Structure 1
Amino acid sequence: MKMVNKNSLHRKCVKKLERIEIRVSDLEKEAIKTKADLLNLAVSQYIRTTVLISTVIERPSRISREYRNQLSAIGNNINQLARAANSGNYVPARELESLRQAVLALVNKQP
């Protein structure tokens, strides 16, 4: 593992007066302590450094969640029609056309 310079994030010595509390399991605590020890850092310094230099991965936007929800609804409808057709029930052409239109609209609106 690469050593982290203890002063790499703050050039000046800054008093740290604020606290952030988190809950971890026994296993998580041991894993964090082990990683901090490997880098010769205090646990608090290891956590600060790790959090501050990490890249944040964005959650899907509301648009993509809506897209995913619409796609899921279309998939559910297709499954219901397939189940009906496989059971020997009549599936109206207008239902199939409606699903086709919904899929096309969603593909054209794709994020």
Structure 2
Amino acid sequence: MENINKDNRKSKVLHVRLSDSEYQSLLLKANIANMNVADYTRSLIAEGDVIYVDKKEIRELNFQLRQIGNNINQIARYINYRRIKDDVPHQEIFTIKDSLKIIAYMTQKTLDAFNVRKHRK
């Protein structure tokens, strides 16, 4: 455990000269990434890129997924109700299944795009 702490100790200092515009750009990018300049710079050195993920986008995606879940529950209740009353037309079931496949595909594409951005760091 002691070796790990020694390896993580930040004892080296890096001095870099920047122009005003470069420095402002660095401050802006660190701020956008919700990081201080030191952490942002370390991330650039260690990983090559800093990927900013907009939490607002993630919240919107979660909201949309919850809405889709609500819609699916309504569809399931409708189908169960129709089964009790009478037979559900097969075409209706196939249409619903196709719609669910499209939703699943679109959701997966969105999550894959997010994961690619997240892991590209």
How high is the TM-score relative to the length of structure 1?
Answer: 0.41
Bigger helix share: 2
How high is the TM-score relative to the length of structure 2?
Answer: 0.38
Larger Rg: 1
Give the structure, 1 or 2, with the largest relative contact order (CA under 8 Å, sep 6 or more).
2
